[in-house]
């Protein structure tokens, strides 16, 4: 019998079973905060776990069903751990809860770090989970908290699976997508659909970011929107990172980044 075994990590999302342990900490604490009660964390909250949204796992599972190779054991997860403290703080923003967090006695997860090694999934399935969970798992959310419903996809090609009946397709955070995104957008446009793509054209070092240059070169129309330089008030072209983290992707807002014009950006580089 031909098979592939999939190993899921901490999966969350709509209709999630309440269950036990940290697989259900999201739904339990959301229920508490929405009813005005304090979220509860066992121990100091520095346990770091790998959470993945259900739609990512579904897409990865479907991709695994069409693999040409067999007898593989594949991890499906985000590949990135988040502490329970950080997770709870993000949930507080969504729930608009400003109360305290209750810490109880430690449990068996004290001091643990559980992170998915998803390299095989990325290689065999082109699995790339949604990485931006800073505000809402089911909505595109702007920095001024305007939002609209969205569908998370693990790779550019998965957009085609959700767009059959759509006439307008909007893609947000396009800089984080793989290099197939321009091809997918052209394919959708050739079908007579309107495709709107938003994303950063440069990373924090001032270099072209992901598939954005290719998208801009092949787009019918390009609109560049500028912020205001936080140092001098001129139009800002750059996103200056204020922390010492050298990773290309670091999600954040005012605490981590500030918009700067060219002169101010290069003076701080």
Per the CB < 8 A criterion, the answer to whether 8 and 45 are in contact is: no
Reduced to 3 states (helix: H, G, I; strand: E, B; else coil), residue 7 is strand
Instruction: Give CA–CA dist 89/85, Å, rounded.
Output: 6
Tell me if 32 sits within 8 A of 40, measured CB to CB: yes
For residue 256, indicate whether it is catalytic: no
**CB-CB neighbours of 34 under 10 Å:** 12
Distance (Å, whole) CA 12 – CA 5: 20
Tell me the CA distances in angstroms from 18 to 12, 22, 40, 251, one per residue in order. Answer: 10, 10, 15, 29
Give whole-number Cα distances, 13 to 56, 66, 153, in Å: 10, 24, 14
Residue 223 tokens read as 């609109």
The sign one gets for the Cα dihedral 149, 154, 159, 162 is negative
Phi/psi-derived region of residue 46, left when phi > 0, alpha when psi is between -120 and 50, beta in every other case:
alpha
How far is Cα 74 from Cα 121, in angstroms, rounded to an integer? Answer: 6
Selected catalytic residue, list 138, 173, 180, 256: 173
Q: Torsion angle of alpha carbons 69, 70, 71, 77, nearest 10°? A: 70
Give catalytic residues, as residue numbers: 173
């Amino acid at each position: 019998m031909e098979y592939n075994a999939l190993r899921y990590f901490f999966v969350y999302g709509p209709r999630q079973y309440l269950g036990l342990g940290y697989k259900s900490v999201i739904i339990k604490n959301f229920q508490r905060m929405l009813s005005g009660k304090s979220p509860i964390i066992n121990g100091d909250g520095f346990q770091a776990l790998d959470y993945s949204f259900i739609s990512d796992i579904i897409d990865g599972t479907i991709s695994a069903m069409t693999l040409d190779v067999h007898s593989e054991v594949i991890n499906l997860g985000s590949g990135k751990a988040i502490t329970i403290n950080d997770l709870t703080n993000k949930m507080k923003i969504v729930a608009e809860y400003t109360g305290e967090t209750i810490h109880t006695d430690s449990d068996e997860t004290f001091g643990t770090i559980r992170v998915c090694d998803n390299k095989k999934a990325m290689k065999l399935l082109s699995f790339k989970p949604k990485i931006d969970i800073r505000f809402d798992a089911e909505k595109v959310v702007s920095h001024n908290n305007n939002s609209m419903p969205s569908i998370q996809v693990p790779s550019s090609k998965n957009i085609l699976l959700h767009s059959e009946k759509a006439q307008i397709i909007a893609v947000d955070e396009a800089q984080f997508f793989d290099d197939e995104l321009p091809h997918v957008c052209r394919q959708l446009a050739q079908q007579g659909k309107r495709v709107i793509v938003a994303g950063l054209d440069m990373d924090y070092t001032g270099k072209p970011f992901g598939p954005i240059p290719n998208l801009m070169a092949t787009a019918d129309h390009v609109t560049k929107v500028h912020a205001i330089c936080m140092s001098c008030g001129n139009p800002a072209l750059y996103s200056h990172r204020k922390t010492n983290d050298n990773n290309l992707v670091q999600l954040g807002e005012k605490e981590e980044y500030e918009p700067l014009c060219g002169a101010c950006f290069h003076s701080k580089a």
